[in-house]
């Protein structure tokens, strides 16, 4: 064996050993690297098989053994470039599906079958024999049509992987660019060597690619150990950044836009990369339509904002956070969370909790919650405070005669008539069953009595008209005012109004009684 051939074998074995080491090393630490480790292990395994089979092929002495080792080379060599492409895609955060994996590995599988059965069809090698001048293990070959397809395919895989890596150069922080460089050269070195081999500028009868793969292996080894490739992937930032559901804008120290994610683009469709470098206040004015946009420069900003019209209203929670850029300059992170649906559900739940489902006015719970506040404010300010308790006369008879459906219609009808007589801002609620209550802050007992009679007459004059009947309806009411001389609670005031109400009902209904706190009895 010549010294030149020994040197070839040594270089090829070095490549094989380094790739085997990389494969074993990543396999041991695979739990730290997740899915990307498996693509890298398959990639380095294919290269290892390719290298060692090439080395043994250079020690072959017969044509038959040379063919066997060539077939074994194709167990690894055609799979290396597509597996390398899959590894790069995984590293860059691109979506990898089972269909894509199968599609990328289809041609390598055919190439392996073609080489293994070449003697029967000669589609891969038209001629495959011992070089007549140099002898074994040098090969004289003439390529077939499938060899061309195979060669173009593996070159394309390496070239696409190289371009994908370069496409992420600008958005990768400087501290992580060594990883990008090592990946790029890891694809570039075998690609250029294969190109030089195909145009005939390498030693005759020898495949030079496995001789240079040790260089790619050293670059990968350096990246794994020095820049923590796989553990900290700069491109993972892009994947995570664009997978966040919240909209994110990044500003520099002068509050100019330098980055935004896909969620932010979806929230604000006019946003585009041509706005990079623009002052944020100008951008926000365009996005929100607000000529005097909110100032988000405060790093502790946390507020809800509403954008759009009633038909397309969106509500966002906006938070800001200070940001330290890679070059030690400071910036600002603005996070937009779309809470429109949450607010809608909140309003809906609040409505269900505080509004009567049938009449759509406040329920008893909401009445007490709101009235307690008004009552406390009125008593503190020595302002008159009066309540009216209202009861629909003979309501049970309506239910028994016409059914509950008509009874519900009657309740809604009474509420509608009363609302037409009440001023905006007055607290009107369904107290329970067929009873209603009106809280009158700033109203005296006399003014309350006048309003109660106004409601009674309005309802009496507007019967409920159904498709079958005209149903007359009347009201009985009790009115009470908070006592000025003594401390009194809201419940005590309501109890006085309740006593006045029952006095009106005992007196024949369809009338208003007031509670006379001076004589401590009830008067008509």
Q: Is the pLDDT at 35 greater than 50, yes or no?
A: yes
Q: Is 261 exposed, middle or buried (0-12, 13-18, 19+ CB in 10 A)?
A: buried
Q: What is the pLDDT of residues 185-236, one digit of tens each?
A: 888 888 888 888 877 777 777 888 888 888 888 888 887 776 556 654 555 5
Q: What is the pLDDT of residues 139-151, one digit of tens each?
A: 888 999 999 999 9
**DSSP states of 61-108:** -SHHHHHHHHHHHHHHGGGHHHHHHHHHHHHTT----HHHHHHHHHHH
Element (H, E) at 1: none
Q: Is the pLDDT at 120 greater than 70, yes or no?
A: yes
Q: What is the pTM of this model?
A: 0.51
Element (H, E) at 285: helix 280-288
What mean pLDDT is predicted for residues 9-30? 90
Q: What is the pLDDT of residues 368-414, one digit of tens each?
A: 999 999 999 998 888 999 999 999 999 999 999 999 999 999 999 99
Of the candidates 316, 314, 305, the one whose C-alpha atom is nearest the C-alpha of residue 247 is 316
Q: How high is the mean pLDDT of the chain?
A: 86
Q: What is the pLDDT of residues 404-423, one digit of tens each?
A: 999 999 999 999 999 999 99
- Output phi, psi for 55, to 5 deg: -65, -45
| Contact predicate 395/404, CB 8 Å | no
What mean pLDDT is predicted for residues 433-447? 95
The confidence score (pLDDT) of residue 237 equals: 58
Q: Tell me the CA end-to-end span of the chain in Å, nearest whole number.
A: 129
**DSSP states of 208-244:** -HHHHHHHHHHHHHHHHHHS-TTTS-HHHHHHHHHH-
What mean pLDDT is predicted for residues 473-497? 91
Tell me how far the alpha carbon of residue 363 is from its chain's centroid.
Answer: 38
- Residue 1 — pLDDT band, cuts 50, 70, 90? low
- Strand pairing class (427-432; 512-516): unpaired
Q: Is the pLDDT at 484 greater than 70, yes or no?
A: yes
Percent of the chain at pLDDT exceeding 90: 49
Q: Which runs of consecutive H residues, i.e. helices, occur in 289-394?
A: 340-354, 364-380
> Minimum mean pLDDT among 125-134, 194-203, 462-471, 507-516: which range?
194-203
């Amino acid at each position: 064996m010549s010294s030149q051939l020994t040197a070839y074998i040594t270089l090829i074995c070095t490549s094989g050993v380094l790739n085997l080491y990389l494969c074993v090393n990543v396999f041991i630490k695979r739990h730290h690297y997740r899915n990307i480790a498996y693509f890298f292990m398959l990639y380095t395994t294919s290269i290892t098989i390719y290298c060692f089979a090439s080395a043994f092929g250079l020690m072959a002495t017969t044509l038959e053994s040379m063919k066997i080792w060539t077939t074994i080379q194709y167990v690894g060599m055609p799979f290396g470039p597509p597996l390398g492409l899959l590894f790069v895609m995984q590293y860059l955060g691109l979506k990898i599906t089972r269909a894509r994996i199968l599609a990328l590995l289809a041609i390598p599988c055919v190439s392996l079958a073609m080489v293994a059965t070449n003697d029967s069809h000669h589609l891969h090698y038209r001629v495959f024999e011992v070089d007549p001048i140099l002898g074994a293990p040098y090969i004289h070959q003439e390529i077939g049509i499938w060899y061309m397809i195979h060669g173009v395919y593996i070159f394309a895989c390496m070239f696409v992987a190289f371009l994908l890596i370069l496409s992420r150069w600008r958005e990768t922080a400087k501290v992580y660019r060594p990883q990008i460089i090592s990946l790029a050269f890891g694809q570039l070195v075998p690609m250029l060597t294969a190109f030089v081999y195909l145009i005939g500028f390498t030693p005759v009868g020898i495949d030079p690619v496995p001789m240079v793969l040790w260089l790619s292996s050293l670059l990968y080894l350096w990246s794994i150990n020095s820049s923590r490739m796989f553990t900290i992937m700069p491109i993972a930032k892009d994947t995570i950044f664009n997978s966040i559901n919240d909209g994110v804008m990044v500003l520099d120290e002068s509050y100019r836009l330098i980055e935004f994610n896909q969620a932010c683009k979806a929230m604000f469709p006019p946003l585009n990369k041509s706005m990079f470098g623009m002052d944020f206040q100008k951008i926000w004015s365009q996005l929100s339509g607000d000529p005097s946009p909110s100032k988000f420069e405060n790093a502790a900003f946390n507020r809800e904002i509403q954008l759009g019209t009633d038909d397309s209203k969106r509500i966002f929670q906006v938070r800001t956070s200070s940001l330290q850029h890679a070059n030690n300059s400071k910036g600002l992170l603005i996070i937009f969370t779309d809470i429109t649906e949450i607010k809608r559900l909140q309003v809906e739940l609040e409505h269900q909790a505080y509004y009567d489902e049938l009449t759509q006015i406040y329920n008893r719970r909401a009445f007490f919650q709101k009235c307690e506040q008004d009552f406390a404010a009125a008593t503190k300010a020595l302002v008159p405070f009066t309540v009216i308790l209202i009861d629909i006369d003979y309501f049970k008879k309506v239910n028994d005669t016409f059914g509950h459906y008509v009874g519900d219609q009657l309740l809604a009808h009474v509420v509608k008539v009363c609302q037409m007589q009440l001023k905006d801002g007055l607290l009107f609620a369904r107290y329970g069953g067929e009873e209603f209550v009106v809280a009158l802050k700033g109203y005296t007992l006399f003014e309350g009595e006048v309003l109660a009679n106004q409601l009674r007459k309005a309802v009496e004059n507007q019967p409920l008209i159904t498709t079958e009947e005209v149903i007359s309806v009347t009201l009985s009411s009790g009115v009470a005012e908070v006592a000025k001389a003594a401390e009194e609670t809201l419940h005590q005031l309501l109890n006085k109004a309740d006593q006045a109400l029952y006095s009106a009902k005992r007196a024949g209904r369809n009338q208003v009684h007031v509670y006379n706190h001076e004589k401590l009895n009830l008067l008509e």
